[in-house]
A and B are shown apart, each in its own frame.
Chain A
Amino acid sequence: MVEKIISSTRLSIICFLSDMPILFDVIITGIGAGVLYGLVGLAFVLILKATNVVNFFQGDTCAFGAYLTVFFAAQLHLNLPLAVGLSILSAIALTVFLEFVGLRPLYKVSIIQVVIGTVAISMIMRYLIRLYWGPQVVPFPDLFKDIPLKIPGIPLGSATVWMMILATLSISGFAIFFKYTRWGTALRACCQDRSSASLMGINVGAMMSLAWGLSGAIGSIAGIAGAHMISVYPEMGIIGLKGFVASILGGANSIPGALLGGVILGVLENLSGFYISFAFRDLIAFIIMIFMLIVRPSGLLGKPVVRKV
């Protein structure tokens, strides 16, 4: 194992020195993957900001978005834009429903119970996917074949480029939403103190549903875009883990931090895989997570939370 790493590193150093275009490709493709992680991370951050809950079924929401698109486009034969729109709306409805029925009653008990509830919902969602669509890989329609968007000299597919545009728009939109709109302010208030927010006349229940609905929308968009990069199968929710790490890295309460964290994670994964070892590529996400939790728990762009007694 050690010899393998040494020979791989030696080869990598030779590659690094002799082929800068390859280094460029490694970084760019890492950014491409990282944007997907960042989008999923954004959904985590939304829920964390609004409810202080880590949503462990976020990855499965991404999977549902992809599967629903297959259902509407391939099985009901709707046109692609309509299929995507309906998938996103269905994912919003599903997430709001799951939160209302499965998690809302648990808030009164403790936050830990809510987090455990999200784990249970994750299992249920995976089971339901297998029950209806089966356990095998499902072919996903090429959504961007009529609107190709490639940048010359950049080794990224149309889906990845479109995803980067969507991610940038989403992040900007949500940053504005939280900072400058009434509903965004109300959501932030609910996050800080639900009781006080309620006393101020804020409909806490509606705000919670709004937050979960938005995370459902983002999750399904990430799943639909990600279906072009990874296969559509019941375990594709694994992308949620990368999104979680991205949110920790960037800052669990920072919206732009989620995207930054995702991009850094994607690039580091690619660089470590290419120049050190592929086994290390898989470890890097967890090493980063532990490192950030020890060194800077609030993340790169997150603000430390100060609780006054």
Chain B
Amino acid sequence: MRKSNKLRVVIGGLIASLLVTVPFLGDFAKEATGAEPVKIGFHASVTRIAVEMGQAALGAQLATEEINAAGGILGRPIDLIIYDDQCTPSLAAAAAHKMIEKDKVFIATGGTCSGCSIAAGPIFNEAKMPYFAAAVLSPVVSVPLKKYVFQMPFTSEAQAPVLLDFARKTHAPKTLAILQRGGAYGKSVSDAFIKYLPGYPEMRLLEVLEYPEIATDFSSHLLKLKALNPDVVLTAGTMVADGIPIFRRAEELNYRPKWVCDLGISDDHVRQAVKKSMDGIYCAWGMAGCNVDTTTNKRIADFRMKYKERFKPKDPMEPSQTPGWGYNAIYFIKFLIEKVGKFDQEKIVAEAERVTDWTGPGLMVSATFTLEKHYHLNLFVKHYLPDGWEETLERTKEGDWKVIDKAKRY
């Protein structure tokens, strides 16, 4: 071959190599700057059971869009992958496997039914995948301790002493009864009440009455309560779908005990449906005035406005408190990654262990993880007053309860 032809071949080969490799150089550059999306898996009860809790997925979506619009996490946009677990542990476990094996997510969060997070948590832990259970309250989710599993909201354990203390200060009851919904969450609240009750020797537990997760009639339970005649009735695990018929039926049976309820009753749909049947009822509440249009809390008012603009819910009562939990979970993950400065799962887990006081743009007040990895924050109590008024009470450091918010809901 002549020298000039050889040169042409060499130059041509170099050009061809460049044409082939330059596009890939561009990809390396993308990776170096971190523009590849970071996958976050989110499982929630979007359909079937406990769907009011599944709205946490919408809060997570809103947070994702805000963060991506502001440039993502360390320059990388979030790719939020949502699975509907239908509040069914086997589906949650299947979702966990898919997130790990098929989607290869970087961090997992979500969980709106305790049973689902109890099923999914060990799977994520075994895969060394950080998992932040966003909206589940059963302490069984994170105890026994699992290195990679964290629990974001307050647990049933946190509700029990607060509500017992509240009941004692407000009603001074001598006898109590518990109306417990079937399922992991209801059991965890009920067990927590029983666990902390010895600390209140002046109060005696008469009976725990359990009903199934999907029930059609509550007459026998309410008549049993009427026969027992406790000073206070505590609810454990009651949700919207059972809360409405319970209070309606209680009204028909002319049974008006002193109710002190756990978080599930606090959904606004219950109040709107039964109205004055809930007058005088107290219930645990996670977000101060979250679903009240007339709230004086600016952060909550801003969140409500953003949520309504984004999702245009048909139901004027939305958002309830649950989207706030999903919203917080995503912002907390962002906080952790930015604190660590890189996408390193082990370092993120270590950083989460060190969180003592996080107050992000979400709705939660300042909070911390404890050794048991329960995210402790202030627990409020909502008091339903006549004529559509509601007040929110907060426990002071001295142990008293003071009103921090009052609004008219209907």
Contact = CB atoms under 8 A, between A and B. Distances in A.
A33 B224 CA distance: 17
Contact of A22 (B54, B210, B226, B314): B226
A157 B248 CA distance: 9
B52 interface: yes
B227 to A, nearest CB: 5
Nearest to A235: B214
Given A135-B51, A281-B220, A233 B211 contact: no
A281 B220 CA distance: 9
Contacts of A157: 248-249, 251-252
A139 B221 CA distance: 23
Nearest to B320: A136
A229 to B, nearest CB: 6
B269 A156 contact: no
Contacts of A160: 252
A60 to B, nearest CB: 14
Contacts of A279: 210
Interface string A261-295: 00000100111011000110110000000000000
A198 B38 CA distance: 67
Interface residues of B, number: 40
Contacts of B314: 134
B161 interface: no
Nearest to A279: B210
B269 to A, nearest CB: 5
B107 interface: no
Contacts of A228: 248
Interface stretch (A24-32, A101-109, A112-120, A214-222): A24-32
B216 A273 contact: no
A137 B269 contact: yes
A22 B223 contact: yes
A49 interface: no
A173 to B, nearest CB: 26
A155 B253 contact: yes
Contacts of A11: 207
Most buried by A among B207, B215, B244, B251: B244
Contact of A238 (B209, B216, B272): B216
Nearest to B252: A157
A25 B217 contact: no
Contacts of A238: 214, 216
A137 B270 CA distance: 9
Interface of B: 46-49, 51-52, 54-55, 207, 209-212, 214-217, 219-221, 223-224, 226-227, 240-242, 244-245, 248-249, 251-254, 269, 272-273, 314-315
Interface of A: 8, 11, 15, 19, 22, 25-26, 29-30, 32-33, 130, 134-137, 139-140, 155-157, 160, 228-231, 233-235, 238-239, 242, 266, 269-271, 273-274, 278-279, 281-282
27 contacts: A8-B207, A15-B224, A22-B227, A25-B223, A25-B253, A26-B223, A29-B220, A29-B223, A134-B314, A136-B315, A137-B240, A137-B241, A137-B273, A229-B217, A229-B245, A230-B245, A231-B241, A231-B245, A233-B241, A235-B49, A269-B220, A270-B219, A274-B223, A278-B209, A278-B220, A279-B210, A282-B212
Closest 9 CB pairs of A and B: A135-B51, A273-B220, A29-B219, A157-B252, A33-B217, A274-B220, A231-B241, A137-B240, A270-B220
